Amino acid sequence: MKSVITTLVLLGAMLGGGASAQTCRTSETESNNAESSANTGLCSGTNVTGYSSSADDDWFRIEVASAGTISISLTNVSGLDADWYLYKNTGSYVKSGATSSNPDTGSYSASGAATYYIKVKRYSGSGNYTLNVSYPSGGGGGACTLPNGVNLGRVGATADKTTTTSGGFVLMGGGTDVDAAMQWMINKSGGGDVVVLRSTGTNAYNSYLYGLGTVNSVQTLLVDSTSEGDNACVAQTIRNAEMLFIAGGNQQNYVDYFKGRAVGDAINYLINTKRVPIGGTSAGMAIMGQYYHPGGAAEGTATLSNPTAVTIGNNFLNIGLLANVVTDTHFAQRARQPRQVSFMASTMYNYGVAWQSIRGISADEATAFALDVNGVGKVFGTNSVHFVKATNSPETLAPGTALTWNRAGQALQVYQVPGTANGTNTFDVGTWTGTGGAVHYWSVNNGSMTIN
Q: How confident is the prediction along the chain (452 residues), in pLDDT tens digits per residue?
A: 333 333 333 333 333 333 333 457 888 988 888 888 888 888 888 889 999 887 779 999 888 877 788 999 999 998 899 999 999 876 889 999 998 889 999 999 888 878 899 999 999 998 999 999 988 875 443 357 889 999 999 999 988 888 999 999 999 999 999 999 999 999 999 999 999 999 999 999 999 999 999 999 999 999 999 999 998 889 889 999 999 999 999 999 999 999 999 999 999 999 998 999 999 999 999 999 999 999 999 999 999 999 999 999 999 999 999 999 999 999 999 999 999 999 999 999 999 999 999 999 999 999 999 999 999 999 999 999 999 999 999 999 999 999 999 999 999 999 999 999 999 999 999 999 999 999 999 999 999 999 99
CATH 3.40.50.2300 assigned to 151-451:
no
CATH 3.40.50.300 assigned to 19-134:
no
348 conformational bin, left if phi > 0, alpha if psi -120 to 50, beta if neither: alpha
- Any idea where the domains of the chain sit in the sequence? 19-134, 151-451
Q: Characterize the bridge pairing of strands 243-246 and 277-281.
A: parallel
**Nearest Cα to 271, choosing from 27, 73, 61, 125?**
73
CA pair distance 285, 369, nearest whole angstrom: 10
